[in-house]
Amino acid sequence: KAGVTQTPRYLIKTRGQQVTLSCSPISGHRSVSWYQQTPGQGLQFLFEYFSETQRNKGNFPGRFSGRQFSNSRSEMNVSTLELGDSALYLCASSPRGEETQYFGPGTRLLVL
Amino acid sequence: GENVEQHPSTLSVQEGDSAVIKCTYSDSASNYFPWYKQELGKRPQLIIDIRSNVGEKKDQRIAVTLNKTAKHFSLHITETQPEDSAVYFCAASIGPYNQGGKLIFGQGTELSVKP
């Protein structure tokens, strides 16, 4: 099976702009989780979607949002970008009912 | 609160030696504990995981032990090789997965294996 894919792989934005990142899970996986990875904070959970419903959310401001489509593909959006949003954004997919998560390659976002 | 502490933050060993990384979690309801390896510029890759009804699990040179009473779990790598050099992350599940459980990650251990 093909692995988790994410697009785009790299993004450069300026403060105040918004950005949308995309994640396609492994075929058959219905759960998609998003994580932010930074050198200082490590891997932090953003949110998790299953069957188009957000089931859990981490401690991030409302500027961070997401959604999941009927084909399980997921997008996350960050509005009003801040310098501190520069990070590697990783998504991970999981089969229904299992905790094992498989990560995508990530989208590296740089906010100037 | 939800927290996973991981030690050490850096670890340097000689090729052929063993490496041990330890993690402590705070949520007594956690029941799933994966370990990921992340090489520079690459995605985290699952290397081994353990569930709360098991005390130890082995896969070739890698083993994980879990002590639920003490709320800590450890990764053991034997006969280390230079290609084991990477950052290793432990994680613990928070909440039941069918209700949107999530993984809380440790801060990572940078392992360097010197030839």
| pLDDT one-digit tens code per residue, B76-101 | 999 999 999 999 999 998 876 666 66
Q: Give me the residues of B, 15-44, that contact A with CB < 8 A.
A: 32, 34, 36, 42-44
Distance from CA of B91 to the nearest CA of A (A): 10
Of B44, B99, B100, the CB nearest to A103: B44
Q: What is the pLDDT of residue A99?
A: 73
Paired with B48 in beta bridges are: B35
Contacts of B95 in chain A (CB under 8 A): 56
From the list A43, A65, A70, the residue with the least C-alpha distance to A54 is: A65
Paired with B111 in beta bridges are: B11, B86
Q: Residue B3: CB partners within 8 Å, gap ≥ 6?
A: B25, B26, B104
Contacts of A44 in chain B (CB under 8 A): 105
From the list A23, A7, A105, the residue with the least C-alpha distance to A67 is: A23
Q: What is the pLDDT along chain A (112 residues), one digit of tens a residue?
A: 789 999 999 999 999 999 999 999 999 999 999 999 998 888 999 999 999 999 888 999 999 999 999 999 999 999 999 999 999 999 999 887 567 899 999 999 999 9
- The chain B residue lying nearest A50, using CA atoms, is B100
Coil/strand/helix, residue B83: helix
User: Which two tokens mark B86?
Assistant: 């990477």
